[in-house]
Amino acid sequence: MYSEAKKPVAQKRKLVTAIPGPKSAELIKRRGEAVSASLGTAFPVFIDHAQGAIIVDVDGNSILDLGAGIAVLNVGHSQNRVAERVKTQIDAFSHTCFMVVPYTGYVEVCEALNRLTPGTHKKKSALFNSGAEAIENAVKIARKFTKRSAVVVFEHGYHGRTNLTMAMTAKNMPYKDGFGPFAPEVYRMPMAYSYRCDACTKPCESSVLSTVIHKIEKEIGASNVACIVIEPILGEGGFIVPCKGFLPGLAKFCKENGIVFVADEVQTGFARTGTMFACEDESIIPDLIVTAKGIAAGLPLAGVTGRAEIMDSIHLSGLGGTYGGNPVACAAALGAIEVIEQDNLVARAKKIGEIMHQELTAMMKKHSIIGEVRGRGAMQAIELVKPGTNEPNPEALTTAIKYCTSKGVLILSAGTYANVIRLLPPLVIEEDLLRDGLSVLDEALASISS
Ligand SMILES: *Cc1c(COP(=O)(O)O)cnc(C)c1O
């Protein structure tokens, strides 16, 4: 049983058993008997408690977390200012359903989203439980507002695992295989993925962007498109940063054709990329912006924020859900947002990004299996290839992750070709600890290259 006495947790990586230790191994066996085999495990230990960037497992190992629960714990594990608000809220009340009896936390989160998201126009928000649910609602809103049905998405994109969002997600295995039929009227367009795109040797302005626009006009008809939904930096797709000009070009096309531009900032949002939202990089002002992951430090919460005239165009009771914007999750969000702003995690993300980019670039010079280093801010990745080619090297990824795991460093994979190592450290990570993790990754790659 966890007791408060175990905190604070030293911000140091330290193994006292092999990974997994005996207690974790026992629990993994027990899990196998009770839990559906469909659920994967990125790191094979059971957690006891955590703080900052360190997870302490049930065997007493201190594991360095460079995944932050998939870009959720931007403020770190067990952030005090989040925990305090959650405890206070749950003592006061834990649920009413916002559409039955409202509460201020919900309104305050919407106010924060309206204030923090790009653009000074009048904005309104609605809250949901998960990224996928929020994406579905953004599509509902765009369709109702435009009275059109087509949804445009992109190759390598990821938007969730519900039926509509499976249709929107690009990758078959593991997300879609055998789960169809999928929702209709979803059209996938090429992505400006410079590392794997011949057209990208030219500026996007004259290549991928014009291909996309041509396809939309000829194959769908711009006047049938309700929305274009895109991640400003692709998350699960392998931290693909669209070529400069691609996002502004799409936004302009949307504006000219009455299409709702939806930014899926579920993974990129809340300071992750060195700006509060990734759209800020090229001064994109989305019509709707979808947030989740980093919003509430691990409590389930998601939001759709956008132009008031779009958000208000839905009939009364057209949107909602039993739990969406749960008061405890809203309390956590207000704590997380307070920490992001007070501790200037935007600047921290930028600094972390500089360190990671510098170290990864140095690794690329040494290890020919690194094909590309990319990302922005504290969202950096390396794409692993067969040396001297750009052929994906998923075997190297498996070996690298195995090595890091054995040393107590949690790193996540990504990419359409399962060959991308993505780094998403909590933004509160101390520099020494970050460098320690990167040096383990360097050793892992050295063990493969040699
Ligand atoms: C994780 C993710 C989603 C889905 O969010 P869930 O909360 O898992 O439903 C959607 N879009 C992006 C970009 C994501 O990273």
- Spacing, Cα 71 to ligand 1 middle (Å): 10
Query: Is residue 247 domain-shared with residue 165, that is, in the same domain?
Result: yes
> Is 132 close to ligand 1, i.e. is its CB under 6 Å away?
yes
| H-only helix segments in 314-430 | 327-342, 345-366, 394-406
pLDDT of res. 449 = 73
Mutate to test the pocket of ligand 1, among 73, 265, 266, 323 (most ligand atoms within 8 A of CB): 266
Which of 318, 342, 366 is at the close of a domain? 342
Q: Is the CB of 154 under 6 A from ligand 1?
A: no
The amino acid sitting at 260 is V
Give the total number of structural domains in the chain.
2
Indicate whether 142 and 261 sit together in one domain. yes
Both 297 and 173 in one domain: the answer is yes
**Ligand 1 nearest atom to the CA of residue 157, by list position:** 13
DSSP conformational letter for 198: G
* Residue-number span of the structural domain to which 20 is assigned: 2-78+345-449
Rounded to the nearest whole angstrom, what is the distance from the C-alpha of residue 3 to the centroid of ligand 1?
A: 32
Cα of 165 from ligand 1 centre, angstroms: 9
132 Cα–ligand 1 center, Å: 6
Task: Give yes or no: residues 123 and 29 share one domain.
Answer: no
Q: Which residue's CA is the nearest one to ligand 1's atom 8?
A: 131
pLDDT of residue 1: 60
* One domain, residues 50 and 140: no
Among 302, 323, 342, give the residue marking a domain's end: 342
160 within ligand 1 shell (Cβ under 6 A): yes
Strand-pair category, 123-128 with 302-307: antiparallel
418, two tokens? 């399962």
- CA distance readout (Å), 242 to 155, 198, 250: 11, 14, 11
How far apart CA 313 and CA 141 sit, in angstroms, is: 8
Q: Are residues 162 and 115 in the same domain?
A: yes
Using a 6 Å cutoff on CB, does residue 130 contact ligand 1? yes
Same domain, 178 and 256: yes
- Statement to judge: residues 261 and 364 lie in one domain: no
Instruction: Identify the pLDDT of residue 293.
Output: 98
255: domain CATH number?
3.40.640.10
Residues 181 and 316 in one domain: yes
Cα of 267 from ligand 1 centre, angstroms? 7
Q: Are 310 and 189 part of one and the same domain?
A: yes
Closest among 143, 133, 138, 172 to 155, alpha carbons compared: 172
What spacing in Å lies between the alpha carbon of 297 and ligand 1's midpoint? Answer: 15
Does the C-beta of 157 come closer than 6 Å to ligand 1?
A: no
pLDDT one digit per residue (tens) for the chain, 450 residues: 666 678 899 999 999 999 999 999 999 999 999 999 999 999 999 999 999 999 999 999 999 999 999 999 999 999 999 999 999 999 999 999 999 999 999 999 999 999 999 999 999 999 999 999 999 999 999 999 999 999 999 999 999 999 999 999 999 999 999 999 999 999 999 999 989 886 666 666 568 999 999 999 999 999 999 999 999 999 999 999 999 999 999 999 999 999 999 999 999 999 999 999 999 999 999 999 999 999 999 999 999 999 999 999 999 999 999 999 999 999 999 999 999 999 999 999 999 999 999 999 999 999 999 999 999 999 999 999 999 999 999 999 999 999 999 999 999 999 999 999 999 999 999 999 999 999 999 999 999 975
Mutation test residue for ligand 1: of 158, 175, 272, the one with most atoms within 8 Å of CB:
158
Based on the fold, state whether residues 247 and 324 are members of the same structural domain: yes
Q: Kindly give the distance from the C-alpha atom of residue 160 to the centroid of ligand 1, in angstroms, as a whole number.
A: 5
The answer to whether residues 396 and 448 touch, using CB atoms and an 8 Å cutoff, is yes
- The pLDDT value given to residue 450: 58
Q: Max alpha carbon distance in the chain (Å)? A: 64
Ligand 1 neighbourhood includes 292 CB (under 6 angstroms): yes
Does one domain contain both 332 and 380? no
Cα(292)–Cα(81) distance, integer angstroms: 19
Residues forming a β-bridge with 374: 381
Beta bridge partners of 150: 225
Best residue among 74, 159, 165, 422 to mutate for probing ligand 1's pocket (most ligand atoms within 8 Å of CB) is 159
Give the Å distance between the CA of 270 and the centre of ligand 1: 14
Radius of gyration of the chain from its Cα atoms, rounded to whole angstroms:
22
Nearest atom of ligand 1 to the alpha carbon of 293:
7
Q: Which residue has a Cα nearest atom 11 of ligand 1? A: 159
Q: Give residue 362 CA to ligand 1 midpoint distance, Å.
A: 31
